[in-house]
Chain A
Amino acid sequence: MQTQEIRRHTISILVDNEAGVLARVIGLFSGRGYNIESLTVAEVDTREQLSRITIVTSGTLMIIEQIKAQLRRLVPVHKVSDLTIEGPSVSRELALVKVTGAGEKRVESLRIADIFRARVVDSTNESFVFEIVGATDKLDAFIRLMEPLGLMDVSRTGVVAIARGPNPI
Chain B
Amino acid sequence: MALLLGLFFVAVGTVTVGIFLFKVWWLPELISVHGAAIDDQLVMTLIIAGTVFFLAQIALGYFIWKFRGQGRAASYWHENPKLEFTWTFITLVIFVGLGISGNRIWAAYFQAPVPADAVMVELTAQQFAWNFRYPGADGVLGRTNPALIDDANGNYIGLDPKDPAGKDDVTTQNIMAIPVNRPIRVMLRSKDVTHSFFVPQLRVKQDAVPGLGIGVSFTATKIGEFEIACAELCGMQHYKMRGRLLVMTQADFDQWLKTRAAM
A and B: bona fide binding partners: no
Spell out A's residues near B (CB within 8 Å).
Answer: none
